[in-house]
């Protein structure tokens, strides 16, 4: 399979490297939304958005949109693809991408091809990416090579990733930070600090600048090795380099790293800097969600409420921020506080998202308050909410704690009906099959932990319960046969 059959000038592709950097290194902190797509794209997205089941195709919705006489251009479709990717709806995003070129015959750019490869990897895996790569026109392959490298890194395919980087060096492509950043990400994930440092030294020797993504990876490495002095050093580099924009996201990342190495005071200092910059962002909901989480990790409950109250006074609060506040309070096991926020959320009349009551359902089930969990479920359904797989899994855990095995089976079946199982992680199916057939106790109890249905302590209790039930059942059978 040929991987480097392209002779396009790097200079002509320079603008695409920024797209690639954003694609591969932007976290939820750095989400970029296209706000220039008008009401038309939003209307089309509103039709697609409710189709949450990846097994339900969005293509009929797209086709119907055209049949109604509506138009759609590439920028609007890209907006929809990016929205779907943000919410990890990769299969739907891939369908839109393919519909854009196969049915609307819109031309494919380098960034479109790179995003297509990313989507193929998430939906079908590496082989499909490699097959698609071979079909990409030569003029688009400079950026596509970076995308291929990124897919190898996500697959932790070290040999293939290193081979691609080496060929990029040999052909003079590896002159920008993005190539090294992607490889450093892999070495960081593998804990290979020596190779990570080697790449940084190579960048310095070749005069390749260390950008914000390079420094973010170095921060993560300092976190992994518990190196607060290293964090100090990288922060000084950031503050002295005028090419690096120290926005709220960078201070949030540094705060997180200080917190993880136990330097709470320095983390607080970074959070205060972050707060001073939050008004400059259009994504205040994202910023406040992150800062709520960090204050909760620090155990600063009073700061949590301060941020929450200040945000509510000046901004309209939507579901995402309510979830962030509730999630933060759960770190304090503050069920009473969560109940108050939940009641406030319900009073707002926002769309009934079951991810919000799930926090309380989880707490109620863990604290043996199954009746309250069931009442909350019924209340949500009466308000038009649709319980998701997590809702039913949590209830299954509550039923298991009560030794109500038959009800646990029913809840798990409902979870399966709203859940698309990952073939690599079929623990939910294992749970149902075991409960129906009682075959492999150890496999089943391990599945409960893996799926997050029950804690290890509850699983141990259940294991004993199942063993006792099996012994009792055996004794009953022997008694019936006259063996006792």
Per-residue H/E/C for 383-425: CCCCCCHHHHHHHHHHHHHCCCHHHHHHHHHHHHHCCCCECCE
What SS3 state is found at 67?
Answer: helix
User: What's the distance, CA 376 to chain centroid?
Assistant: 27
User: What are the C-alpha distances in Å from 271 to residues 253, 293, 412?
Assistant: 10, 11, 42
pLDDT in tens, 239-293: 998 888 889 999 999 999 999 999 999 999 999 999 999 888 888 999 999 999 9
Instruction: Decide if 99 contacts 84 (C-beta within 8 A).
Output: no
Q: Give 107's DSSP letter.
A: P
- pTM listed for this prediction: 0.69
pLDDT band at 470 (very low <50, low <70, confident <90, very high): very low
Write down the mean pLDDT value for the chain. 82
What average pLDDT does this structure show over 415-443?
A: 58
pLDDT band at 436 (very low <50, low <70, confident <90, very high): low
Q: What distance in Å separates the CA atoms of residue 23 and residue 30, rounded to the nearest whole number?
A: 10
Which of 304, 300, 310, 319 has the alpha carbon at shortest distance from 278? 310
Q: What is the pLDDT of residue 36?
A: 41
In sequence order, the β-bridge partners of residue 425 are 422
Which of 382, 399, 334, 394 has the alpha carbon at shortest distance from 358? 394
Which of 363, 328, 322, 329 has the alpha carbon at shortest distance from 344? 322
What average pLDDT does this structure show over 212-234?
A: 91
Q: What is the pLDDT of residue 424?
A: 42
Instruction: Decide if 355 contacts 390 (C-beta within 8 A).
Output: yes
What average pLDDT does this structure show over 421-434?
A: 54
What SS3 state is found at 257?
Answer: helix
Helix (H) or strand (E) holding 101: helix 90-102
Phi, psi of 202 (to 5 degrees): -65, -40
H helix count then E strand count, the chain: 26, 0
Question: In the chain, where are the structural domains located?
Answer: 219-281
What average pLDDT does this structure show over 126-154?
A: 91
Instruction: Decide if 244 contacts 212 (C-beta within 8 A).
Output: yes
pLDDT in tens, 2-21: 454 443 333 334 444 444 44
Tokens of 351: 């769309």
Instruction: Decide if 428 contacts 416 (C-beta within 8 A).
Output: yes
Tokens of 77: 């479709």
Instruction: Decide if 81 contacts 97 (C-beta within 8 A).
Output: yes
Q: What distance in Å separates the CA atoms of residue 342 and residue 364, rounded to the nearest whole number?
A: 14
What average pLDDT does this structure show over 341-356?
A: 94
pLDDT band at 231 (very low <50, low <70, confident <90, very high): very high
Residue 82 exposure: Cα atoms within 13 Å on the Cβ side: 23
Instruction: Decide if 52 contacts 353 (C-beta within 8 A).
Output: no
Per-residue three-class SS string for 272-316? HHHHHHHHHCCCHHHHHHHHHHHHHHHCCHHHHHHHHHHHHHHCC
Residue 202 exposure: Cα atoms within 13 Å on the Cβ side: 19
- How many residues appear in the chain? 484
Q: Is the pLDDT of residue 37 over 50?
A: no
pLDDT in tens, 161-183: 999 999 899 988 899 999 999 99
Q: What distance in Å separates the CA atoms of residue 149 and residue 131, rounded to the nearest whole number?
A: 14
């Amino acid at each position: 399979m040929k991987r480097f059959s392209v002779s396009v000038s790097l200079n002509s592709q320079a603008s695409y490297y920024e797209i690639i950097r954003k694609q591969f290194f932007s976290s939820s902190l750095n989400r970029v939304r296209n706000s220039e797509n008008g009401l038309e794209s939003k209307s089309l997205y509103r039709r697609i958005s409710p189709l949450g089941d990846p097994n339900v195709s969005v293509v009929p919705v797209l086709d119907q949109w055209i049949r109604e006489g509506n138009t759609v251009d590439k920028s609007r479709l890209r907006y929809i693809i990016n929205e779907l990717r943000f919410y990890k709806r990769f299969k739907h995003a891939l369908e839109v991408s393919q519909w854009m070129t196969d049915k609307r015959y819109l031309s494919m750019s380098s960034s479109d091809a790179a995003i297509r490869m990313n989507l193929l990897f998430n939906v079908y895996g590496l082989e499909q990416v490699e097959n698609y790569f071979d079909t990409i026109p030569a003029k688009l392959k400079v950026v596509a090579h970076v995308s291929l490298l990124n897919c190898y890194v996500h697959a932790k395919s070290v040999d293939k990733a290193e081979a691609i980087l080496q060929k990029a060096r040999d052909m003079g492509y590896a002159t920008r930070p993005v190539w090294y950043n992607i490889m450093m990400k892999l070495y960081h994930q593998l804990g290979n600090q020596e190779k990570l440092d080697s790449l940084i030294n190579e960048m310095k020797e070749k005069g390749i600048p260390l950008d914000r993504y390079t420094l973010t990876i170095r921060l993560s490495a300092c976190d992994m090795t518990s190196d607060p002095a290293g964090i100090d050093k990288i922060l000084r580099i950031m503050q002295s380099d005028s090419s690096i924009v120290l926005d709220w996201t960078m201070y949030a990342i540094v705060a997180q790293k200080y917190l993880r190495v136990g330097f709470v005071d320095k983390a607080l200092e970074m959070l205060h800097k972050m707060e001073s910059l939050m008004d400059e962002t259009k994504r205040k909901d994202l910023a406040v969600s992150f800062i709520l989480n960090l204050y909760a990790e620090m155990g600063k409950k009073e700061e949590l409420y301060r941020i929450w109250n200040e945000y509510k006074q000046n901004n309209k609060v939507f579901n995402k921020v309510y979830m962030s506040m509730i999630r933060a309070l759960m770190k304090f096991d503050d069920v009473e506080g969560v109940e108050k926020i939940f009641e406030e959320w319900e009073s707002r009349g926002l769309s009934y998202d079951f991810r919000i009551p799930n926090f309380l359902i989880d707490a109620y089930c863990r604290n043996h308050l199954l009746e309250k969990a069931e009442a909350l479920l019924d209340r949500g359904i009466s308000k038009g909410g649709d319980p998701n797989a997590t809702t039913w899994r949590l209830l299954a855990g509550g039923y298991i704690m009560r030794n109500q095995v038959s009800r646990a089976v029913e809840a798990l079946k409902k979870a399966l009906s709203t859940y698309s199982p990952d073939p690599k992680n079929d623990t939910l199916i294992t749970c149902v099959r075991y409960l129906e057939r009682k075959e492999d106790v150890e496999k089943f109890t391990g599945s409960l932990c893996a799926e997050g249905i029950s804690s290890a302590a509850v699983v141990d209790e259940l294991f004993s319960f199942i063993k006792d039930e099996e012994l009792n059942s055996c004794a009953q059978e022997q008694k019936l046969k006259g063996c006792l």
